[in-house]
Amino acid sequence: MSRLDNKVALITGASNGIGAVAARRFVEEGAKVFLVGRSEKVLRNLRDELTHEKCDVMAGDIALEKTNQEMIEACQHRFGGLDISLINAGIEGAAALIPDYPTEVFDDVVAINIRGVFLSLKYSLPLMSKNGGSVIITSSIAGLKARGLGNSAYVASKHAEIGLMRTAAIENASNNIRVNCVSPGPTETRMMRSIEENRSPGAAESAKKEVLKGIPLGRYGTPEEVVNMITFLASDEAGACTGGVYTVDGGISAY
C-alpha cells in the first residue's frame, strides 16, 4: 500500500512550488487532492496532469472567508470528506526596513499568511473532527529566526503561523487531529527568486551568494525535499507527531 491510500487531501497555494509538488506526490501516494490557488488556468493544467478522478481544483483568494467556506464545501461534495489539510498559501512581501515598509504590503502579508491560515484552520478542522486527520502548515525558518534585514511582515507572519499551529494542535488532539508546521529554509522556488531580486534589484545572483553563506549545507533545498517531510507528517507514520515544527533548512536552525 502507498502511504496515503484512500486519503482526501486539501492543498492551498497549489499553483506552483511546494504546493504543486505536494499535489503530485500525494497522488503518487494514493490520495485524492483538492487544489486551491490563484491561477485557475494553472490549476486546471495540473488537474489534467493528475487525472480528474484523483484531482479537483478551485481558484480563489485564501484571505477571504468565502473562499475558505466554498473550498471545504466543494472538497466534501467532490470527495466525501477530508483527511489531510496542507495549508501552504503564502506571500513574501517587500524588502524594506520597518520605517520604510509599505503599510499596504504589510497588510497583504498579514491577510494571506495569518488570516488565510486562520481561516483554513477554522473551516478545515470541523470537517476532519469525525475521523481525525493531519494538518500541515507551511511556515518558514523565518518563523524561528529573524534572518537578514527588511523582512518584518514575513517574519512576523511566520511566527504567527507557528502560534496558530500550536494552539490548533492542543485544541484538536482529543479529536485525533494532528497539527504541525514544516519550516523550510531557502528553497528553489519562485518565491526565493522574488526574495533575491527584492534584496538586490538587478543583482539576484549576488543576493543568492550572500544567502548561501548562511546555510551550513551550502545550498538551497528543493521543493521535493520539503515535500518529503510534508508527506511523512500527512501519513500515519507520523501518528504521534503533533504540535511540532519540522525544519528543512540545510542546518540554519542549528546556529
Catalytic residues: 154
Q: Cβ contacts of residue 122 below 8 Å, gap of 6+?
A: 68
Conformation bin of residue 119: beta by default, left when phi > 0, alpha when psi is -120 to 50: alpha
Count the Cβ atoms, other than its own, within 10 Å of residue 49.
12
What is the maximal distance between C-alpha atoms in the chain?
54
Q: How many residues are given for the chain?
A: 255
Q: What is the DSSP letter of 253?
A: G
Spatial separation of the C-alpha atoms in residues 235 and 25, rounded to whole Å: 12
**Chain centroid, CA 120 distance in Å:** 11
